[in-house]
Amino acid sequence: MLTENFKIVPVMNTVDFGVGLNGDSINMKNYHKCTFIVTLGAVAGAGLVLQVYSSNVDATRTTALAFRYAHGGAAIGTALCDVLENWTLAPTTGWAIADASHDNYMCVIEIDAQEMPAGHNWLTIYPNAGTSGIAHIVAILTPRYGSNLQLTALA
């Protein structure tokens, strides 16, 4: 079973980005890695920037992290939408999605727990800017210990 090897956590469902909107914080203490699957709707000209933060407290953004991301080769529902482009390292300032070229795209974001500062267990994805736009974000976590009965990774 997929859920015995990975923890699936929905972290954001939004129909309108705005400053101050956070994804649910994930407690990474029992997980090696987090893979965010981001499906974008229309973001045309919204000035959206996605960042990832860690902290030692739930629902707090303390340290901005660099992260690896790759987006699909085409809009969702078209040929090549499931073929990822080259991996890119986003700086701590995030991935700027400020144009219509990524409307309706999927993006995969990877974070290893060991890349988080010492003492930080909480991970949060954060749209740092934007005036509009749709996204659904799900985290797929790699547990330290597999089990068919997994506890919540949220607060």
Q: Choose among 43, 30, 24, 34: nearest CA to 68.
A: 34
pTM: 0.91
The percent of residues above 90 in pLDDT, for the chain, comes to 59
At 58, phi and psi to the nearest 5? -60, 145
pLDDT for 110 equals 97
CA atoms of 15 and 151, how far apart (whole Å):
29
pLDDT for 19 equals 56
Average pLDDT of the residues in 20-44: 88
18 pLDDT higher than 70: no
Q: CB atoms < 10 A from the CB of 119, how many? A: 9
pLDDT in tens, 100-130: 778 889 999 999 999 999 999 999 998 877 7
The answer to whether 48 and 127 are in contact (CB under 8 A) is yes
CA atoms of 19 and 21, how far apart (whole Å):
6
pLDDT for 47 equals 72
Q: How deeply is 80 buried, as exposed, middle or buried, from its count of CB atoms within 10 A (0-12, 13-18, 19+)?
A: exposed
Q: How deeply is 133 buried, as exposed, middle or buried, from its count of CB atoms within 10 A (0-12, 13-18, 19+)?
A: buried
Q: Choose among 23, 54, 41, 31: nearest CA to 126.
A: 23
CA atoms of 64 and 71, how far apart (whole Å):
21
